[in-house]
Structure 1
Amino acid sequence: MALDYSLIKHWKFDDLHHAYTHKDVILYALGIGLGQNPTDPRELQYVYEDGLKVFPSMAAVMGYPGFWMKDPKAKVTWTKVVHGEQRMHFHAPFPAQGEVIGRSRITHVIDKGAEKGALVVTERTIHEAGTEKLLATVEQVTFCRADGGFGTSDPGLDPLPKVPATAPDTTCTLPTLPQAALLYRLNGDYNPLHADPAVAAKAGFPRPILHGLCTYGVVARAVVSTLCDGQGDRLAYLHGRFSAPVFPGETLQVDVWKSADGTAQFHARVLERNILVLSNGVAGIRA
């Protein structure tokens, strides 16, 4: 079934007010594996309330409008929808606790063809409540595999670059926790695909898979560790394309190529299966 271009492009989102506490900040950080070395001050600052900082990729769960494509009014074949890319800009550090406002809109509806599906880009700006200070901009690219062929189409986003063919400048290897999906879902994504073995089996997986945004958070950890000395406030943006799912407990190897202009490229693979899981990564680093 083809998408209704006008319906999706003008989908109405209400402002979403999201209050959070130190506990929410710490739970997110634990879910992406921070605190595995509990005596490292670079990790402790994200999981201990004394001097607590918000890890930047937590913007992924701030002011999130939920899985709106499941609404029957959207007429999307939601069972065939997959997360294609995540692009995030970090404008200012999040307060350690407080309230934010998420404002979402559809910026692109891209027809790839009747047999090739469609892409929908949802942009969310996250503002500090009260001051309206812009904290982050999140772009989620959703691949609607069964909904192409509607004709009208926006131009595509600028493509994310492929990593260089040369050897990486640095590599960071991080294990994911066996219980990572069970922790991460407490941030608000309760899809049973990430917790229930029976549901995972029906979807064709041998066991529950990790949330894509949890994988993204682990990769962000690697970039912050290797390029920012553990200081998340130095991360200006982080973009990447999801290539394959990760199973909780697997090990991610993140290869990084540095540039002199403060940018870097990266990709991530699962060592146990030697499979690329996040590709075409690009990051901006503040001095």
Structure 2
Amino acid sequence: MPIDPDIALGAELATKTFSWTSSDVLLYHLGIGAGSRPGDNLDAKALRYTNDDENLQVLPSFAIVAPTFHDDEPPKLDLPGCDINLAQVVHGAQEFIVHRPIPTSGTATVSDRISDIWDKGKAVVLWQEGVAVSESGEKLWTTRSSMFIKGEGGWGGDRGNQRTVELPDRKPDADTSYDVTPQQALLYRLCGDRNPLHSDPGFAQAAGFPAPILHGRCSYGIVLRTVTDELLGGDAAAVGGMEARFSGVVYPGETIRVQAWDEGAEILVSATIASSRSERDGAPVLADCVVTKA
């Protein structure tokens, strides 16, 4: 079979040592829309994302892109026990936990493994877990991400279980929106994700989409930045983690509506498409989305 769970499950992937600079952090923040609102170039809080002075901070979702930030080729899928191609794969879910604030530059080593494989019958959900450690041996962050692999599965394996979030039946504590720019995916792909699904119209159509879509990790970062600004005073160090399932796609030029409910240690989030001119108005972007406070 194209996926052999006996080989893949628990497989340790190659460790990778990587470095990042303040320029990488700035590009990542610009890729997820920081500094895009009128007046952000004069706003001290907004400039904490976009100006490389002593006030520069790192939004913790940078952890999910840092190890591959300088990759300039489409991602490779040479995973143990897996014979799959890029056109089969959609990003399913993303999680991270930061164990300390991420410095604006540094070097770390990440160790990855295939932690779970869920058999959904006509698809497989494959989870990877990575732990990043600094040069001094300090644990920096842990990430988990899943791939939804179409056309696989059916061997009767574990179907898996993911947290389901019920949103409060009250007015959200924050309700705002972000206009995705037409070139947003083209900018964000410079953060190390050159999957042609986000830039090549022909590839996107072959994969079943009418046009290139925004990276799921980009919409993920947009939502976290919005929640951080709206409910955490713009303080990136107040974020301890975030988990979300990608429940729909975003096309460049659309608007993402972010509603958030502050529940104490956690912030529950709804992200949907907001456009009165589109049949996709109200379509979900992220589901089961939770931001954990540090």
Answer whether TM exceeds 0.5 for this pair.
yes
User: Does the CA-based 8 Å contact 2:205-2:211 persist in structure 1?
Assistant: yes
User: Does the CA-based 8 Å contact 1:224-1:230 persist in structure 2?
Assistant: yes
Q: In structure 1, what residue type is equivalent to 2:166?
A: K
Cα distance 1:67–1:162, how it changes in 2: closer, same or farther (>3 A)? farther
Cα distance 1:238–1:71, how it changes in 2: closer, same or farther (>3 A)? closer
User: Does the CA-based 8 Å contact 1:62-1:126 persist in structure 2?
Assistant: no
Correspondent of 2:260 among 241, 252, 256: 256
**Is 2:168 the partner of 1:164?**
yes
Aligned to 1:9: 9
Paired residues for 1:1-287 under 5 Å:
1=1, 3-36=3-36, 37-51=40-54, 52-64=56-68, 67-69=75-77, 74-76=82-84, 78-113=86-121, 115=122, 117-128=123-134, 130-153=135-158, 156-259=160-263, 261-272=264-275, 273-274=280-281, 275-286=283-294
Q: What is the rounded CA distance, in whole Å, between the counterparts of 2:15 and 2:272 in structure 1?
A: 36
Q: What is the rounded CA distance, in whole Å, between the counterparts of 1:206 and 1:106 in structure 2?
A: 32
- Give TM-score scaled by structure 2 length: 0.88
* Root mean square deviation of aligned Cα: 2.1
User: Does the CA-based 8 Å contact 1:77-1:147 persist in structure 2?
Assistant: no
User: Does the CA-based 8 Å contact 1:162-1:279 persist in structure 2?
Assistant: no
SS of the counterpart of 1:41? coil
Gaps of 5+ in 1: none
SS of the counterpart of 2:167? coil
**1:83, distance to aligned residue in structure 2 (A):** 1.2
Cα distance 1:24–1:137, how it changes in 2: closer, same or farther (>3 A)? same
Deviations 1:142-200 (A, max 9, x none): 222221122343x7344231323444232121222221111111111111221122322
**1:222, distance to aligned residue in structure 2 (A):** 1.1
Q: What is the rounded CA distance, in whole Å, between the counterparts of 2:117 and 2:203 in structure 1?
A: 30
Q: What is the rounded CA distance, in whole Å, between the counterparts of 1:157 and 1:283 in structure 2?
A: 19
Q: In structure 1, what residue type is equivalent to 2:109?
A: I
**1:135, distance to aligned residue in structure 2 (A):** 1.5
Q: What is the rounded CA distance, in whole Å, between the counterparts of 1:17 and 1:63 in structure 2?
A: 8
Deviations 1:51-85 (A, max 9, x none): 22222111111224984435696223542221111
**1:278, distance to aligned residue in structure 2 (A):** 0.8
Q: What is the rounded CA distance, in whole Å, between the counterparts of 1:208 and 1:67 in structure 2?
A: 16
Q: In structure 1, what residue type is equivalent to 2:131?
A: T
Gaps of 5+ in 2: none
User: Does the CA-based 8 Å contact 1:100-1:126 persist in structure 2?
Assistant: yes
- Give TM-score scaled by structure 1 length: 0.90
Q: What is the rounded CA distance, in whole Å, between the counterparts of 2:185 and 2:162 in structure 1?
A: 31
Q: What is the rounded CA distance, in whole Å, between the counterparts of 2:271 and 2:191 in structure 1?
A: 23
Percent identity reads 35
Cα distance 1:119–1:95, how it changes in 2: closer, same or farther (>3 A)? same
Q: What is the rounded CA distance, in whole Å, between the counterparts of 2:81 and 2:162 in structure 1?
A: 30
